[in-house]
Every structure is written in C-alpha cells, then in structure tokens.
Amino acid sequence: MLESLTVAQQAMTFQSARVVIAPHGAGLTNLVFCRPKTIVIEIFSPAYINCCYWVISNWIGARYYFILGSGKRSSEDLFALGEDIIVDVDALEAILRLAGLG
C-alpha cells in the first residue's frame, strides 16, 4: 500500500495515525512522522529481528509493542525478507489489550 503513495501522502498518513500495526520493513521508516503516544505494534519474522523501529518509536515518544510471528525460514533467504509471517491471533489480542485497544 505505501508504495502507491507519494512521500507526502505517506507522511500525512503516519502523522494522522493513532495506531500503526505492520510487519517489520522499510515502510516503518515513516514512523518519524507519527505524533507522540502513537501506538506502534511491529510484527517480526521469527528469523529476523531488528530494533531500528523501536529506536525511532522511542525517539518520537510512541508507545511501542511487538509480536514475534512464526513460520518457516528459507535457507536461501538470510534475512527472511518476503517470507510469510504467521501471527497468533491470541498473541495479537493480548498485545492489543496491553496497548489499551481491546
């Protein structure tokens, strides 16, 4: 979805968001446009975890949470880019409750 938006549209989308739920990826760089106290829930592949969006979230004063998904890791893809991430619905519901959203 983000790739179809201009940079200005991406900035406006994230600036107006109260909650951002997304898998780890370049699109989360737009967190720099979020307002303080925005709730961020990042979804990680079990094969690759990177704290860069936690750092951005802390820098802007967001409320950051994450979920570690499950799935198979391809031996050909070092960072599991493009791999499916399976999210446990109960774990997602627990994070949403913890964030005050459920």
The low-confidence residues of the chain, meaning pLDDT below 50, are none
Q: Looking at beta carbons, which pairs linking 74-80 to residues 24 or more positions away fall under 8 Å?
A: 79/47, 79/48, 80/45, 80/46, 80/47, 80/48
Length of the chain: 102
Domain that holds residue 48: 2-98
Q: Tell me: the pLDDT tens digits for 63-91?
A: 999 999 987 666 565 555 667 889 999 99
Mean pLDDT of the chain: 91
> How many structural domains does the chain have?
1
pLDDT of residue 35: 98
CA distance 65 to 76: 29
